[in-house]
């Protein structure tokens, strides 16, 4: 049904307009008793066998929403109701800003990809904090991803991040420092070890009460750079890393769509990112051992992808583009297939797969649809 709706209606709309339509439709459905009842019948909570424990938190499923979908903290509860185990709100900046001028996101359905040059549009940290006050903590885990305000000069970057963290840390289950978006000038330079050390040190002074702190990395770093960041993350005793953000590399796009050239510099997400995302995950896991939570994002489309990332060392996974193309029933379908996979592997829970770092041989067969 969703595939028909997507092909007939949604793909004909501007991507941002379709995003707003989906958001409003889901919110409207949950605003009525019949809508909530229908959603609960169709979705239901994730199977308890999928529970993941990390940082003292319980994630109902390892499947989460990457930053970028709920940029302003306005529909994380609706997304959790679809079966996601966590939602990472953001990217949030200290100052309100419009982002880059539209059009700033396009679909490339032939490649199951998106290209975006959003530029962190949002109402600012204070407004997002107001939306997180009083949230129902039992509904699922909510993290917040923070980035640099465009108006902040490079010398002000650490203070700018720290202001967002100061306002949002008390309301978030964990914080992610985004230093890897390609759509804010100069942002990726913060991934250099010296700048990253100064940034993390400054931000940590605002983590009150203490919260798990992660960094989100670019897929376009080379192996040497990844090793340097992993060494620094261990030295600073970071709680985790998110691998990866979108890529500026166009090599994975098979489409010759002329619109792609107009999005030069924008980040590619979806299937073309899958191979590199998994490579970065494996490299980081090898570098940090089992001492740190790794969150894998990029090109995850089905339960087999989730399973393979967890075998490769991910504790949690995050999705964006796969959900856009899969529709509202997609997360619950992934959860069902993943629970089936756990039982087929003879594991007590998916936590056992995380602890072992790789599933038994029986776990390598794909799940049935």
Q: What is the pLDDT of residues 261-296, one digit of tens each?
A: 667 778 999 999 999 999 999 999 999 999 999 999
The angle, 0 to 180 degrees and rounded to 10, between the axes of the packed helices 33-42 and 15-30 is 110
Look at the chain and report how many structural domains it folds into: 1
Mean pLDDT of 54-77: 95
Nearest alpha-carbon partner for 248 in 225, 226, 271, 265: 265
Q: Determine, yes or no, domain membership for 296.
A: yes
What is the predicted pLDDT for the residue at 19?
72
Structural domain range at position 153: 2-357
Question: Model confidence at 356, in pLDDT bands (50, 70, 90)?
Answer: low
In the sheet that 105-108 helps form, which strands lie side by side, from edge to edge?
A: 105-108, 113-116, 267-270
pLDDT of residue 258 exceeding 70: no
In DSSP terms, which residues pair with 58 in a beta bridge? Answer: 53
pLDDT of residue 362 exceeding 50: no
Highest mean pLDDT among 3-12, 24-33, 240-249: 240-249
Question: Model confidence at 202, in pLDDT bands (50, 70, 90)?
Answer: very high
Q: CA-CA distance, 209 to 175, in Å (whole number)?
A: 12
Q: Determine, yes or no, domain membership for 362.
A: no
What is the predicted pLDDT for the residue at 10?
59
The enclosing domain of 227 has a CATH number of 3.20.20.70
129 is written with which tokens? 């904090």
Q: Which residues carry out catalysis?
A: 181
- Higher-pLDDT residue of 364 and 311 is 311
Helix (H, G, I), strand (E, B) or coil at 186: coil
210 is written with which tokens? 């203490």
What is the predicted pLDDT for the residue at 12?
60
Q: Determine, yes or no, domain membership for 365.
A: no
Cα 213 to Cα 104, 128, 176: the distances in Å are 29, 19, 6
Helices (H), ranges, the chain: 2-8, 15-30, 33-42, 76-81, 125-132, 157-168, 193-204, 223-235, 259-262, 274-288, 303-311, 321-326, 330-344, 350-356
What is the predicted pLDDT for the residue at 73?
94
Return the percentage of the chain with pLDDT > 70, whole number: 91
Q: Determine, yes or no, domain membership for 368.
A: no
Q: Determine, yes or no, domain membership for 366.
A: no
- Higher-pLDDT residue of 59 and 364 is 59
Q: CA-CA distance, 127 to 264, in Å (whole number)?
A: 31
Strands 213-217 and 267-270: unpaired
336 backbone φψ class: left, alpha, beta (φ>0; ψ -120 to 50): alpha
- Report cis status (omega within 30 of 0) of the bond before 209: yes
Q: Determine, yes or no, domain membership for 261.
A: yes
């Amino acid at each position: 049904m969703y595939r028909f709706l997507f092909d007939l209606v949604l793909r004909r709309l501007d991507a941002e307009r379709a995003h707003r339509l989906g958001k409003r439709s889901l919110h409207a459905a949950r605003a009525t008793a019949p809508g909530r009842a229908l959603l609960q019948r169709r979705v239901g909570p994730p199977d308890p066998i999928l529970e993941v424990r990390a940082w003292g938190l319980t994630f109902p499923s390892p499947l989460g929403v990457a930053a970028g979908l709920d940029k302003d903290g306005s529909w994380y509860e609706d997304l959790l109701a679809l079966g996601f185990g966590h939602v990472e709100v953001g990217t949030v900046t200290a100052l309100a800003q419009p982002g880059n001028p539209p059009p700033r996101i396009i679909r490339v359905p032939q490649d199951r990809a998106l290209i975006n040059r959003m530029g962190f549009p949002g109402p600012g940290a204070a407004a997002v904090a107001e939306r997180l006050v009083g949230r129902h903590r039992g509904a699922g885990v909510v993290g917040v991803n923070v980035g640099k305000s465009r108006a902040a000069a490079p010398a002000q970057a650490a203070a700018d991040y720290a202001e967002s963290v100061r306002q949002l840390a008390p309301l978030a289950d964990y914080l992610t420092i985004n230093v890897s978006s390609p759509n804010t000038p100069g942002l990726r330079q913060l991934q250099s070890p010296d700048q990253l050390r100064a940034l993390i040190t400054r931000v940590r002074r605002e983590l009150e009460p203490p919260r798990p702190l992660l960094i989100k990395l670019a897929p376009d770093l080379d192996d040497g750079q990844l090793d340097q960041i992993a060494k620094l993350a261990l030295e600073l005793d970071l709680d985790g890393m998110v691998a990866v953000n979108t890529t500026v590399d166009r090599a994975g796009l098979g489409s010759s769509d002329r619109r792609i050239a107009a999005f030069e510099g924008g980040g590619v997400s979806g299937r073309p990112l899958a191979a590199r995302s998994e490579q970065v995950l494996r490299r980081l896991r090898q570098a940090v051992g089992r001492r740190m939570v790794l969150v894998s994002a990029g090109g995850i489309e089905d339960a087999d992808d989730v399973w393979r990332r967890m075998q490769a060392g991910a504790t949690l996974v995050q999705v964006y583009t796969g959900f856009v193309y899969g529709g509202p029933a997609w997360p619950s379908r992934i959860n069902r297939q993943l629970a089936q996979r756990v039982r087929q592997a003879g594991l007590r829970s998916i936590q056992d797969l995380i602890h072992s770092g790789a599933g038994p041989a029986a776990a390598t067969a794909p799940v049935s649809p």
